[in-house]
Amino acid sequence: MSQFVFPPAPQTQLPVIGQSATFPVRRIYCVGQNYRAHAREMGSDPDKAPPFFFSKPASAIAQSGTRLIFPSRTQNLHHEAELVVAIGATAQNIAPDQAFDTIWGVAAGNDLTRRDLQAVAKKAGRPWDMAKGFDQSAVIGAITPIGQVKSLETGRITAKVNGGLRQDGDLGDMTWPVEDIISHLSRYVTLMAGDLIMTGTPEGVGPLQPGDTCVVEIDGLAPAEFAYLP
Ligand code: MN
């Protein structure tokens, strides 16, 4: 039996509503500009492009309800309120009408973004990793099993900063519904149980400062919330 040269990093996990067992996270995929008004505020035409994807490391997850260190190397850190889909089955090249059966559950999440570094990367045609995949860049709430979810087609999604409403959208305004996202993504990679998909953010993204609290809420789900240390 082989041994590790040092103890491996712990498995990233998320709490699950109504049970003590946790959800083991494998990969985190993210969808860019999946709400029309947000695509426009980013300077894109939402009616032209198919969905595009990027990813964050699983180790970038910060648990909801925690106090976080404000990220380094940014003067323009943004919140992005997002529905997070937790995958529970293997999916490769599947059709949208097969996609629902691969969903284990859903959660509220915040795709924290160093917007200034992203703008530089976009302009230079460089990768987004340092803008999107930094430490504690994905704050995700407890997962609600899909059997307890009323609807993925509609539902209010909000982000509040220090109690003030900053984003106020509806899941029904997604350009690509959840099933379409899973279908598209499954043509690029083999989705497996434990994968998470952050499904894009509505309009109203904006800056966070040290000391701010930020809460993402979606109808019927547990919130994703945190406070930055001063
Ligand atoms: Mn996002």
Distance 89 CA to ligand 1 centre (A): 23
Distance 113 CA to ligand 1 centre (A): 8
Q: What is the mean pLDDT of residues 152-173?
A: 97
Q: What is the mean pLDDT of residues 110-115?
A: 98
What is the model's pLDDT at position 94? 98
Are the beta carbons of 206 and 159 closer than 8 angstroms?
no
CA dist 98 and 47 (Å) reads 25
Residues, CB within 5 angstroms of ligand 1 (ion): 80, 111, 201
* Predicted TM-score (pTM) above 0.95: yes
Distance 224 CA to ligand 1 centre (A): 14
In this predicted model, what pLDDT tens digit does every residue of 134-144 receive, in sequence order?
999 999 999 99
Distance 124 CA to ligand 1 centre (A): 20
Q: Give residue 38's pLDDT band: very low, low, confident or very high (50, 70, 90).
A: confident
What is the model's pLDDT at position 70? 98
Distance 106 CA to ligand 1 centre (A): 16
Distance 1 CA to ligand 1 centre (A): 42
Distance 228 CA to ligand 1 centre (A): 19
Distance 138 CA to ligand 1 centre (A): 10
Distance 181 CA to ligand 1 centre (A): 14
Distance 111 CA to ligand 1 centre (A): 5
Does the pLDDT at position 1 exceed 70?
Answer: no
Does the pLDDT at position 131 exceed 80?
Answer: yes
What is the model's pLDDT at position 37? 86
